[in-house]
Amino acid sequence: MLARRIYLDYLATTPMDRRVLEAMTPYFCERFGNAASKSHAFGWEADEAVQAARVQIGALINARPAEIVLLSGATEADNLAIKGVVGFQRDRGRHIITVVTEHRAVLDVCKALEQAGQAEVTYLPVDRVGLIDIDQLEAAIRDDTVLISVMAANNEIGTLQPIAEIGRLARERGVFFHCDAAQAVGKIPIDVDAMRIDLLSISGHKVYGPKGIGALYVRSREPRVRLAPMIHGGGQERGMRSGTLNVPGAVGLGAACELAGREMRDEAVRVHGLRERLHAGITTALDQVYLNGDPKHRLPGNLNLSFAHVEGESLLIGLSGSAHADLPAIAVSSGSACTSATLEPSYVLRALKVGEALAHSSIRFGLGRFTTEEEVDCAIARVIAEVSRLRRLSPFHHAATARQPRSSPDGDASSPDGDAQVRPVVADVG
């Protein structure tokens, strides 16, 4: 029997896997030692658990256990990676290259360094599906470039960047490469050696682990990456992040990474199939629905759609409410960023040149480990019902039904609001 609420926001956070909770539980009350206590068995036991977690985390990304720095999450990892490199390399250079569609944990750090006069930043544009141009990246590298920071998978649109190509270019030019992989780790294969990644950010709660724990992979050789610390104190984590370790969190992150390593391939195939089922079910019944992001190179569980002539926030409210007593509420998120005073369209979608009206009408569906076919089918029915209801109330939809989107020479469709062209959803997106 279906629950009264269906969770399709796995890109915001994931429910903890119960197997992860089982691994963590003893370290709250029974094995409660401080991993920095070296004089008794309680501390030794905690330290052994932390070192085992480093092995599990490292194995998922092909890293050495000693290269795993435990932190509070991917936001702290991004901060330490970027500020740490700039701080340590200040005599060599202060130029950073990143991308306009990065997570705020990267963009806001770069802007803060710029405002403090500690860095100069080049923000690369993206194409209409969210990919960077490798030639533009190469042209942006300067003699004083110390860091390239590009995320593996975009948190809104799911587009996968060519990480191996970026890593190869960075290595050839002698520039450190940082990758925010919070959305990618555990969902697609990541190999820091094969991809030539020097720093990589990981988040526990994106991979069915606990909140409040994450990790930064820091390459130890060929080349060795050295960072200026942000937090000073007891010298934990090789001096890069002082503070008492979150032992239960570390154990949980390790267990989550081990599970992902074992199950990722089969899980990705299953989740991709569910995404295609959701996608086809919606677009078969509704017209003027547009895909945001790369139609092929995207996360298995990400589907970001814009619904013409529907306001995204109204759709969110409708889906999460109880207007349809016979259908469960659906938890999804919007591509529009809200402030207290106004609605602003997603900066990611605007970077893709999606028209403002469509940017405001976008919904991000996130599917994951515990999503079922029955839930997907229910979501399809709920989306169709709610979009149809809102369009019946929209004067813009009534005015537009007499005309169909124009086709451009490359097969894309113009957005109904007359703004930039966007790619229509097709049933065989992979």
Q: Coil, strand or helix: which one is 374?
A: helix
Euclidean distance between CA atoms 325 and 146, whole angstroms? 56
Residue linked to tokens 């229910």 = 378
Compute φ and ψ for 33, nearest 5 degrees.
-60, 160
What are the Cα distances from residue 259, in Å, to 20, 30, 46, 93, 211? 9, 24, 21, 40, 17
Is 25 exposed, middle or buried (CB count within 10 Å of its CB: 0-12, 13-18, 19+)? middle
Euclidean distance between CA atoms 396 and 357, whole angstroms? 11
Half-sphere exposure of 232 (CA within 13 A, CB side): 1
Q: Coil, strand or helix: which one is 177?
A: strand
- For the CA atoms of 426, 12, 421, 403, the dihedral, rounded to the nearest 10 degrees, stands at 60
> Which residues have CB under 8 Å from 80's CB, separation 6+?
69, 71, 216, 227, 229, 230, 240, 241
Euclidean distance between CA atoms 223 and 225, whole angstroms? 6
- β-pairing, 95-99 with 145-149? parallel
29 catalytic? Reply is no
Query: Quick one: how far is CA 93 from the chain centroid?
Result: 29
Euclidean distance between CA atoms 266 and 111, whole angstroms? 40
Q: Tell me the CA end-to-end span of the chain in Å, nearest whole number.
A: 30
Q: Coil, strand or helix: which one is 360?
A: helix
Among candidate residues 29, 179, 338, 378, the one labeled active-site is: 338
- For the CA atoms of 64, 66, 71, 75, the dihedral, rounded to the nearest 10 degrees, stands at -40
Q: What is the 3-state secondary structure (H, E, C) of 4-37?
A: CEEECECCCCCCCCHHHHHHHCHHHHCCCCCCCC
Q: Residues with catalytic annotation?
A: 338
